[in-house]
Structure 1
């Protein structure tokens, strides 16, 4: 596989990328592993990829965004797509927050830990991570709580989700009334 430039394993049943999975594949320029079942990536999985410019991991089950996994790609990659993955906004994402880069496409919202589900990984601040919270707090901080009068900010993903749900309900209501009128 020394001359292969594109590896497309999208829509596969791959659930685990093992260490050195791409051994002797230094000429690969693009890897598409999107829409698979990947939940685990070993630390050395991407170690020998020297020329990869695009890594597409969109639509998998990846929860952890650890620097040690993506470190070998940081100098060559132009894009790593992790959109539509249940990324946890825990302390493993701290390295990304220190060097935010447009090269990474992350999901619109975090999937956890509890209290972080409304936050965007791209807008998250280091001070909001649980490892920066006061350890003596008896109650875990819920960053998604809003004041009663301002439940949803107009720019939040949760607001857009609620707006879409309301619009969908309105369309169904109008459609149902049209059908009843025609009968």
Structure 2
């Protein structure tokens, strides 16, 4: 087996350049060079090696992909892709948040429990946002589907646990995602 083949095989299992370096004894920079030369996309694995927020994000992304298997996961093509998924020409970004409890609101008064979703990086490029609102045990509590037009002036969307918010109108069931995105394919 050539060095390039060894790099490809190890990287396909680990999805981490430093782990490949440790396993096969080739510096990660050289591993990277072999992979790029072989036209292998270096994407990483944020579920295993990402930050705490990356590990929360991947929960929603995995659940969305299970619910909408026709969606193309752009993170498989490019590490930390700007838009998470595509269905035909439609771009979909997934945001995932755990409920925040015991935090301060205005004037340092206790704020009500809520989910916060930051959309500023994808605001001008995503056609739809899918929000996964997780409970304290990372179970899906709510799912929201928002078209870009309703969030054009926002960079962060905060949804209270009470659901006393205009954003509650965009709550959907996970089972509605696939039929909706399939219908979008027939419209175009």
The structure with the greater share of residues assigned to strand is: 2
Please confirm whether the aligned pair reaches a TM-score higher than 0.5, indicating the same fold.
no
TM-score by length of 1: 0.31
TM-score by length of 2: 0.30
**Greater RCO, CA 8 A, separation 6+:** 2
The structure with the greater share of residues assigned to helix is: 2
